[in-house]
């Protein structure tokens, strides 16, 4: 009905967002040509004339409002297209507004006023049909929008039955059959809707007593049908977008860069800070070598894994994957904490609990459950670790007693609790050890051209969470490799300017031994 044209809100299935990009590495192989990858490599040290490979630099200029708005639309389109490509569960559904939102209050108030006017007009003697005809006219346009180009017969029928001029004439003579028109609309909706909406159509056929309520329900079901139609279109577009995703995303981002010259400011700052950190490494100046461009980029990618979103926004080239990045970070944060707790338990208790996989699994599951949600700002980690310690001591005492070992002494329990709670401190040696090993693991994956064979090869000290690390490694590397494939030319341009200025240096094969091992997907 009028004012009931809210746009559908985008959602993605919450079962496992991280799984959305499980096959991104494989898709990169089929989506990206060899020339793309070769040019990305070459562009670090040489100019590349093809715009397809090297992003163009835009001179500073004054932006007008229309250009800013157009860039915002381009970014929105890029985000939606990227979501369709990498998230197999992405779909649209009618917008549901929060119960206490101002917009919902305004919308509901306007709708109620409109329905009250409709009810009043239909109750007049003789009835007035002004509002009802407006609804019929809008319904007609919606039904026509559902038709395929070849549905000429149904199109003609809708035009004839919902002939608004004829209906107005009938209303002037008080012979319009609103009930019959509503029945025809419901029947036509039944022909056009997806099978999942059959139950909704059945309810409409049963709800014919009150015309105002019926019209309201018709528009509700039409909104559902609109979302269904968009989702069918999304599913049909997905294979096309996937087959051209790299080229599409790169060109769309280039359009944004052309209109908004500062669209890579955060990305440049990200790479620049990485380069400066590598250059200021704690080794003697005379022994310090200039880091190679691929080493800089790989180190920058590693930094995304521990990015502090509260201190600075993600690089622009990562914005479309921000939700997935955060999800990997949260899962890794909990995984590290669980591993730290288990390392402390087994190093403190020792022999009596070694070689008991069932006990280890119970301790791991229990700790993971109690630390769930630790990324939340309201989560009290120290308090949660105290609860973890109490549960672990209880479980250990039960296991030891069952196998005729003495229970843990109060002093040992206090020591164990203190060590577990101390991992909240950033300089805790166990925490530092685990974080270093995690960094080693992910850096090895980023630098390997075939990381799939290394997902299960976790460093010593991380074996307790090996399955979880392998899964997180696969998710993160899929993100990195797809991002590298799409935005590689932009990164090459930034790094070349940061390291070599406007003119490229002579080729130096010995500059960076990691260049040959940079992933090609």
Gap between the Cα atoms of 256 and 246, Å rounded: 16
Q: Please report, rounded to a whole number, the percentage of residues in the chain having pLDDT higher than 90.
A: 38
Range 437-449 average pLDDT: 94
Residues 360 and 496 in one domain: yes
Report the 3 state secondary structure along 292-356. Answer: CHHHHHHHHHHHHCCCCCCCCCCCHHHHHHHHHHHHHHHHHHHHHHHHHHHHHHHHHHCHHHCCC
pLDDT in tens, 291-317: 889 999 999 999 999 999 999 999 999
Residues 6+ positions from 68 with CB-CB distance below 8 Å: 260
Question: Domain for residue 362, yes or no?
Answer: yes
Instruction: Give me the number of domains the chain comprises.
Output: 2
Question: Domain for residue 437, yes or no?
Answer: yes
Handedness of CA 153, 158, 164, 168 (dihedral sign): positive
The domain boundary residue, chosen from 208, 236, 264: 236
pLDDT in tens, 24-34: 444 444 434 33
pLDDT for 381 beyond 80: yes
Q: How confident is the model at residue 219 (pLDDT cuts 50, 70, 90)?
A: confident
The domain boundary residue, chosen from 196, 218, 236: 236
Question: Domain for residue 145, yes or no?
Answer: yes
Residues 343 and 194 in one domain: no
Token match 């309520």: residue?
Answer: 213
Q: How confident is the model at residue 467 (pLDDT cuts 50, 70, 90)?
A: very high
Q: How confident is the model at residue 280 (pLDDT cuts 50, 70, 90)?
A: confident
Q: Assign 92 to helix, strand or coil.
A: strand
Gap between the Cα atoms of 258 and 190, Å rounded: 47
Residues 496 and 356 in one domain: yes
Range 105-110 average pLDDT: 64
Question: Domain for residue 291, yes or no?
Answer: no
pLDDT of residue 313: 93
pLDDT for 484 beyond 50: yes
Q: Please report, rounded to a whole number, the percentage of residues in the chain having pLDDT higher than 70.
A: 71
Residues 227 and 333 in one domain: no
Residues 6+ positions from 10 with CB-CB distance below 8 Å: 80, 83, 90, 91, 92
The residue range of the domain holding 220 is 102-236
Residues 232 and 327 in one domain: no
Residues 213 and 323 in one domain: no
Question: Domain for residue 66, yes or no?
Answer: no
Residues 335 and 429 in one domain: yes
Question: Domain for residue 345, yes or no?
Answer: yes
């Amino acid at each position: 009905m009028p004012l009931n044209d809210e746009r559908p809100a985008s959602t993605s299935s919450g079962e496992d967002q991280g799984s959305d990009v499980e096959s991104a590495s494989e898709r990169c192989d089929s989506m990206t040509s060899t020339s793309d990858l070769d040019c990305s490599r070459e562009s670090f040290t040489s100019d590349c004339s093809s715009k397809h490979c090297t992003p163009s630099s835009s001179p500073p200029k004054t932006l007008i409002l229309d250009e800013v708005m157009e860039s915002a639309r381009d970014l929105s389109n890029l985000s939606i297209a990227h979501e369709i490509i990498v998230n197999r569960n992405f779909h649209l559904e009618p917008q549901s507004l929060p119960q206490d939102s101002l917009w919902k209050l305004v919308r509901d108030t306007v709708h109620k006023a409109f329905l009250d006017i409709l009810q009043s007009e239909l109750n007049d003697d003789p009835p007035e049909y002004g509002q009802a005809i407006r609804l019929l006219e809008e319904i007609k346009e919606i039904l026509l929008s559902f038709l395929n180009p070849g549905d000429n017969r149904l199109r003609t029928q809708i035009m004839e039955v919902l002939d608004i001029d004829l209906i107005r004439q009938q209303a002037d003579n008080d012979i319009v059959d609103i009930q019959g028109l509503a029945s025809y609309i419901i029947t036509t909706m039944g022909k056009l809707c997806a099978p999942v909406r059959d139950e909704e159509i059945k309810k409409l056929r049963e709800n014919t007593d009150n015309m105002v309520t019926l019209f309201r329900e018709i528009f509700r079901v039409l909104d559902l049908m609109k979302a269904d139609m968009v989702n069918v279109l999304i599913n049909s577009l997905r294979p096309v977008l996937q087959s051209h995703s790299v080229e599409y995303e790169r060109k769309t981002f280039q359009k944004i860069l052309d209109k908004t010259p500062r669209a890579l400011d955060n990305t440049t700052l990200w790479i620049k800070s990485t380069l400066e950190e590598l250059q200021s490494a704690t080794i003697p100046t005379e022994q310090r070598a200039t880091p190679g461009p691929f080493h800089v980029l790989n180190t920058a990618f590693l930094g995304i894994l521990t990015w502090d979103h509260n201190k600075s926004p993600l690089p622009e080239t990562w914005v479309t994957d921000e939700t997935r990045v955060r999800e990997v970070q949260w899962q890794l944060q909990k995984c590290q904490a669980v591993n730290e707790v288990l390392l402390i338990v087994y190093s403190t208790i020792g022999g009596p609990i070694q070689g008991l996989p069932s006990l280890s699994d119970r301790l791991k599951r229990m700790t993971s459950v109690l630390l769930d949600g630790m990324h939340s700002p309201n989560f009290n980690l120290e308090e949660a670790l105290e609860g973890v310690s109490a549960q672990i001591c209880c479980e250990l005492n039960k296991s030891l007693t069952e196998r005729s070992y003495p229970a843990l002494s109060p002093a040992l329990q206090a020591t164990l609790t203190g060590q577990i709670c101390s991992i909240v401190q950033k300089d805790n040696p166990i925490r530092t050890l685990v974080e270093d090993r995690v960094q080693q693991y992910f850096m090895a994956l980023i630098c390997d051209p075939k990381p799939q064979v290394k997902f299960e090869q976790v460093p010593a000290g991380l074996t307790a969470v090996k399955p979880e690390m392998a899964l997180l490694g696969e998710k993160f590397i899929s993100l990195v490799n797809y991002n590298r494939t799409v935005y590689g030319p932009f990164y090459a341009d930034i790094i070349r300017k940061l390291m070599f200025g406007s003119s490229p240096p002579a080729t130096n094969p010995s500059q960076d031994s990691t260049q040959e091992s940079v992933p090609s997907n």
